[in-house]
Structure 1
Amino acid sequence: MYSSFRKKLFGGDNVVNLSDVRYLPRWIILIIDIIILIISLFLSTYIIEKITQTEFIYHKDEIIIFTCIILSNVVFMYVFKTYAGIIRHSTFIDLFKLLVSCFCTMFVVGSVNIVYFWVTGGKFILTPYLVLYFIISFMGLFLFRLYVKEFFHIVREYRRSTLKKRILVLGIDEQSIAIARAILDNPSLPYHVVGFLTQRTDSKRASLLGKPIFAKSKIENNTKEELLIDGVIIVKEMMSKDEMNSWVNLFLEKDLNIFKSPSVQKLRDSDFGGSIRNLQIEDLLNRKPIKIQNEEIKSRHFNKTILVTGGAGSIGSEIVRQVAQFNPSLIVVLDQAETPLYDIELEMKEKFPHIRFKFVLADVSNKHRIEPLFQMYNFSMVYHAAAYKHVPLVEENPHEGILVNVLGSKIIATLSSKYHVNRFVMISTDKAVNPTNVMGASKRAAELFVQSLQNVEGNTTKFITTRFGNVLGSNGSVIPHFKKQIEAGGPVTITHPEIVRYFMTIPEACELVLQAGTMGKGGEIFVFDMGEPVKILDLAKRMIKLSGFEPNIDIKIIYTGLRPGEKLYEELLSDGAKTLPTHNEKIMISKDPSTEFNEINLLINLVTKASIRRDKVEVVKLLKTIVPEFKSNNSIYEVLDN
């Protein structure tokens, strides 16, 4: 009941929270109702006397008549239990009970009045008075409940709004209204919608869902303290990249939190609230994904046996996920990293229990371990994603980079040709273009070898290479690294203030790989239109602001200098390379120079032998012979260029 309220009131706690009061005792509600009835009697008396200027009651003792009317009303209140419900949760049924109670009172008193007239020839009360009393008493009882209900609603909403984030919803279209309605209808969400935000200027006096509509200028000309808001919620799917960046720049400038909402299609999901999250930097860098021809790709994978090397890595594991959707007969997932391989095994068996998988722990540079797989399974497609990719580590250990990136690629590609695999798709990198480090040069050497196999006599395999830039969220990439640094309170470390990189998402990268494997005729290097390069310093600043901090105030940014082999700008095309368009406007074919098989095979054998001897200098020297455009930068191997 009201015990918690009473304890606070008499227990020394001077702060009483109205929303903690459960409900008042029934007898208190009944007393309040009786007071309303008495007031209704006097109000009816006053009105009748003013209108008629006559006696409305014909009995010598008014008190008796008034008491009888009140008692009659109370009896029917007891019969219909009008005082029993919790007022702030009153419903139409409670309203109907009040109506019936008041009507029965009027009917009974009116009937007694008529009987009294038949017996004595005169009435004891004026009939219009009863009708007026019925109307006023019902309205009084009803308004009392309505005001209490609304009062508690206001108190509850005020309390919630003080604990919740006060947000604006960006947009006034159906999507935005649906999102706002879903938030308003779900009191458990930690957000309180205070209005809508639009680019339009003709909606200043309009409102939606009872909330005001703010023009963009309102945000531009006021601080968030003046506007009394904490953040803005956006539906990313409703905006272009340029619109998104424009709004986000404004919100970040005003220190507003930016929340991303799911689309209307996901509103039916019971976990809608969990889908609202802080806007991530990936959301701003993301572009329209490649539109792949699913039917054509499905025919290449349906009921086929597929090999994915490096299948536990960021790219390889996503290739496995996407290929599994096309119902192949078997997917062989190969990787030398034990724990990630086990993780992807658990994930695939849970998500695709109907697909047959084989998880192989092996090193791609071990031919004796790899060849039995080609002998045992009739692979139709090979996706070669296995590689060492961290520039500083490979620069320190060039011999290891050669064994995996070059020898491993040679073994997988040669076995694919020997066992007549239909298509071999190699995943390369933009660092292979005009390389300044061992990792990039090793990938370029692998590209040259794979291309050379295409024209070897007797070969039936189509060798295809895909080349793209940095992948958002991949293991060891800059964005997860920055996130960890920001979560730790900084500093955020950047090698150089002018360094820039291309970015794409993991699903985009893998769609490119699947599309290339479908459209390739053999010997091509496919490159992706990655848009504009991103300045890493700007990326870091945005990530810090999106996390609610101020760059160089809350989170410091420090420069560590370029790492060995690192360059400021990455390229997707070699100097002098030409591109050919494809039927997908986002994918092009790079016409890089190629090398004859015998020549590149001889050089690959020499650099492999040097790697086995752990002769780092000889390894890099031979790598520079294989890739003439390889010029070391910020590295001990720069002397070899002289």
Structure 2
Amino acid sequence: MKLDGKNILITGGTGSFGKAYASYILEHFDINRLIIFSRDEQKHYEQKRAFAHWSDRVHFVIGDIRDREKIMGVCRGIDIVIHSAAMKHMPMAEENPMEAVKTNILGSQNLIDACIANEVKKVVALSTDKAALPINVYGGTKLILERLFMSANSLSEAKTIFSVVRYANVFGSKGSVIPLFMKLKDTGELPITHPEMTRFSITMEEGIDLIQFALNKSLGGEVIVPIAPSYKVGDVAEAVCASCKKQVIGPRVAEKMHEILISEFEAKQTIKSDGFFIIMPEIGIKREEYVKHYQAEAFELEEYSSGKNSDFLTIEEIKKQLPR
């Protein structure tokens, strides 16, 4: 989809992804207007200064997706919405589950209603591998978000196309273990959950490509999944500081040893196209239409697990991706 001349809204636009995606579209497209929407006033202040040379096209709006009236107004005149606002910190969600529900579920429904009411053309929501067979509050709320978007697509009478991208860990982002290891390496000791724990990994650039693929190709109701390499937590620690002592502290509460991007159940509803997996909804558009639209490739998939992946980053490959 050409973004030139479009009015775009990014919820959670002051987060790591929101900031990176905003920079990307401002550098590559002649958009009409970009609204950065989030509730963090300090991040707004910092990002507004960093984006000063784009001030004629970028508008910063402080607000919360929990505020139905606010988000309804912000969506007026918008063509495209990228929904990245979320309560993301897993331990905090475990301790405050209703807060995660209010933001990740009720806030997302507020956004869906606003997009339908304002006839937004396309909406892409960011989800997580923790939504596949969730065992924690964060993953559970993101699974409901995915279902809300699937349902919204079947109810929007084709005026608004809703789709979801399910992310792996973005390498080096605030949510990954890498910033912690980089901060602690000078102490000579790194705390690791388990050396054999695995995670999927994508770069920020690959995350942006995932959004662009969804904007260009999404038919509506699908969950788009990247084909990504895995890494072992022990290998990341070794890449950051080979000489450091590795202290095994065990997994956090409700944390998996291996993440799943596509469950065994979802694999039956999954097709492959252009280097991505597409999980088709069981309601709404027929399977045959997705297969034809995506020109799907034949493949076999039982479950897409970081522990059973055929592609693992080596220690040397991890070193090359570490921040300098």
- Counterpart secondary structure, 1:563: coil
Confirm or deny that 1:508 pairs with 2:206. yes
Paired with 1:484 and 1:371, the residues of 2 have a C-alpha distance of 41
Paired with 2:166 and 2:144, the residues of 1 have a C-alpha distance of 13
Percent of aligned pairs sharing the same letter = 32
Q: Which residue of 1 aligns with 2:159?
A: 460
Please identify runs of 4+ aligned residues in structure 1 that moved more than 4 A. 592-595
CA contact (8 A) 1:420 1:459 kept: no
Q: Could you tell me the TM-score, scaled by structure 2's length?
A: 0.83
CA shift for structure 1 position 442: 0.3
Paired with 1:420 and 1:466, the residues of 2 have a C-alpha distance of 21
Q: Which residue of 2 aligns with 1:337?
A: 40
- Counterpart secondary structure, 2:14: coil
The 1:493–1:561 alpha-carbon spacing in structure 2 relative to 1, beyond 3 Å, is same
1:313 corresponds, among 15, 22, 37, to 15
The 1:418–1:573 alpha-carbon spacing in structure 2 relative to 1, beyond 3 Å, is same
2:240 corresponds, among 538, 543, 562, to 543
Paired with 1:571 and 1:495, the residues of 2 have a C-alpha distance of 18
- Counterpart secondary structure, 1:434: coil
Q: Which has the higher helix share?
A: 1
- Counterpart secondary structure, 1:303: coil
CA shift for structure 1 position 593: 5.0
Unaligned runs of 5+ in 1: 1-296, 596-642
Task: Give 1:339-354 correspondences, 5 Å limit.
Answer: 339-350=42-53, 352=54
CA contact (8 A) 2:116 2:156 kept: no
Task: Give 1:19-34 correspondences, 5 Å limit.
Answer: none
Task: Give 1:56-67 correspondences, 5 Å limit.
Answer: none
Q: Which residue of 1 aligns with 2:272?
A: 581
1:495 corresponds, among 173, 188, 193, to 193
Paired with 1:383 and 1:364, the residues of 2 have a C-alpha distance of 13
Q: What's the CA shift string for 1:374-426, capped at 9, x where partnerless?
A: 23xx1000000001111111111111111111111111122111111000000
CA shift for structure 1 position 468: 1.7
CA contact (8 A) 1:394 1:401 kept: yes
Q: What's the CA shift string for 1:460-498, capped at 9, x where partnerless?
A: 1000100121011222421111100103x1421111232
- Counterpart secondary structure, 1:569: coil
Q: Which residue of 2 aligns with 1:328?
A: 31
The 1:594–1:316 alpha-carbon spacing in structure 2 relative to 1, beyond 3 Å, is farther
Alpha-carbon RMSD across the aligned residues, in angstroms, is 1.6
Q: Which residue of 2 aligns with 1:153?
A: none
Give the number of equivalent residue pairs: 281
Q: What's the CA shift string for 1:182-237, capped at 9, x where partnerless?
A: xxxxxxxxxxxxxxxxxxxxxxxxxxxxxxxxxxxxxxxxxxxxxxxxxxxxxxxx
CA shift for structure 1 position 341: 1.9
Point out which structure has higher relative CO (alpha carbons under 8 A, 6+ apart): 2
Confirm or deny that 1:521 pairs with 2:219. yes
Q: What's the CA shift string for 1:477-529, capped at 9, x where partnerless?
A: 21111100103x14211112321101111121012112211110111110000
CA contact (8 A) 1:516 1:526 kept: yes
Whichever of the two has the greater Rg, that structure is 1
The 1:473–1:497 alpha-carbon spacing in structure 2 relative to 1, beyond 3 Å, is closer
2:168 corresponds, among 469, 493, 506, to 469
Q: Which residue of 2 aligns with 1:362?
A: 63
Paired with 1:557 and 1:506, the residues of 2 have a C-alpha distance of 27
Confirm or deny that 1:567 pairs with 2:265. no
Paired with 2:38 and 2:58, the residues of 1 have a C-alpha distance of 14
Q: Could you tell me the TM-score, scaled by structure 1's length?
A: 0.43
- Counterpart secondary structure, 1:331: strand
Unaligned runs of 5+ in 2: 285-324
Task: Give 1:160-559 correspondences, 5 Å limit.
Answer: 297=1, 299=2, 301-324=3-26, 325-350=28-53, 352=54, 355-375=56-76, 378-456=77-155, 458-487=157-186, 489-531=187-229, 533-545=230-242, 550=243, 555-559=244-248
Which amino acid in structure 2 is aligned with residue 534 of structure 1?
Y
Paired with 1:541 and 1:511, the residues of 2 have a C-alpha distance of 29
CA contact (8 A) 1:503 1:534 kept: yes
- Counterpart secondary structure, 1:394: helix
Which amino acid in structure 2 is aligned with residue 588 of structure 1?
F
Q: Which has the higher strand share?
A: 2
- Counterpart secondary structure, 1:522: coil
CA shift for structure 1 position 332: 0.3
